[in-house]
């Protein structure tokens, strides 16, 4: 999980957005520290976390920003989006409303972020299949229409979290190279 002594070729800022309680902080915790907490208050006040990884023989420092409780509509400021080259738009597969709010988040993102930002739609809590309220197909179709990457993840079971970040970071890497 990152070696402080290594030289950094790139720093990519990626922002996490989406409704409260969809699992943004736990996705970040899983990616940056390989940790998960069922009672997550641990990341409050932390602006971002980093993890350095290697993509095509270059070291890439991913600087991942978490909203830390500013999830109400329009509460996320433009400073949050500034300089972001990637975004993870997260909903909870067990809460239909969090998916229905995605167009609103996308609108916010498109209003404040760089127009070339790489975006992935993430349906989190895939471990709760028995409580599913958002069919995979609905999200897939939406993502396709909007030109977004799409994956379902479980921060709890560590399913697809690495894959989601790698998808975004590799795409950004390919754009700048």
**Residues that bind ligand GDP in the complex, under the rule CB under 6 A:** 20-26, 38, 40, 124-125, 127-128, 154-156
Give the count of beta carbons closer than 10 Å to the beta carbon of residue 53: 16
Nearer to ligand GDP, 27 or 60 (CB): 27
Give me the phi and psi of 167, to 5 degrees please. -60, -50
Which of ligand GDP, Mg ion, none interacts with 101 (beta carbon under 5 to 8 A by kind)? Answer: none
Instruction: Specify the DSSP element, H or E, that contains 175.
Output: helix 161-176
32 binds Mg ion (CB under 5 A): no
The binder of Mg ion chosen from 12, 16, 25, 109 (CB under 5 A): 25
26 binds Mg ion (CB under 5 A): no
Which of ligand GDP, Mg ion, none interacts with 49 (beta carbon under 5 to 8 A by kind)? Answer: none
Stretch that binds Mg ion, among 24-32, 73-81, 112-120, 129-137 (CB under 5 A): 24-32
Are the CB atoms for 161 and 23 separated by under 8 Å? no
E-assigned strands of the chain?
10-17, 48-55, 58-65, 86-92, 118-124, 149-153
């Amino acid at each position: 999980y990152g070696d402080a002594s290594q030289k950094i070729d790139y720093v990519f800022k990626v922002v996490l957005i989406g409704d409260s309680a969809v699992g943004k902080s736990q996705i970040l915790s899983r990616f940056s520290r390989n940790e998960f907490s069922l009672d997550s208050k641990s990341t409050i006040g932390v602006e971002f976390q980093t993890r350095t990884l290697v993509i095509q023989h270059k070291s890439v420092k991913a600087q991942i920003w978490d909203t830390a409780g500013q999830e109400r509509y329009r509460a996320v400021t433009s400073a949050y989006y500034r300089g972001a080259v990637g975004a993870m738009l997260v909903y909870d597969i067990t809460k239909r409303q969090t998916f229905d709010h995605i167009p609103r988040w996308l609108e916010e993102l498109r209003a404040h972020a760089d127009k070339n930002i790489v975006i992935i739609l993430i349906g989190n809590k895939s471990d709760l299949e028995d409580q599913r309220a958002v069919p995979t197909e609905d999200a897939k179709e939406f993502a396709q229409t909007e030109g977004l990457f799409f994956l379902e993840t479980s921060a709890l079971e560590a399913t697809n979290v690495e894959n989601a970040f790698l998808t975004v970071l590799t795409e950004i890497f390919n754009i700048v190279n």
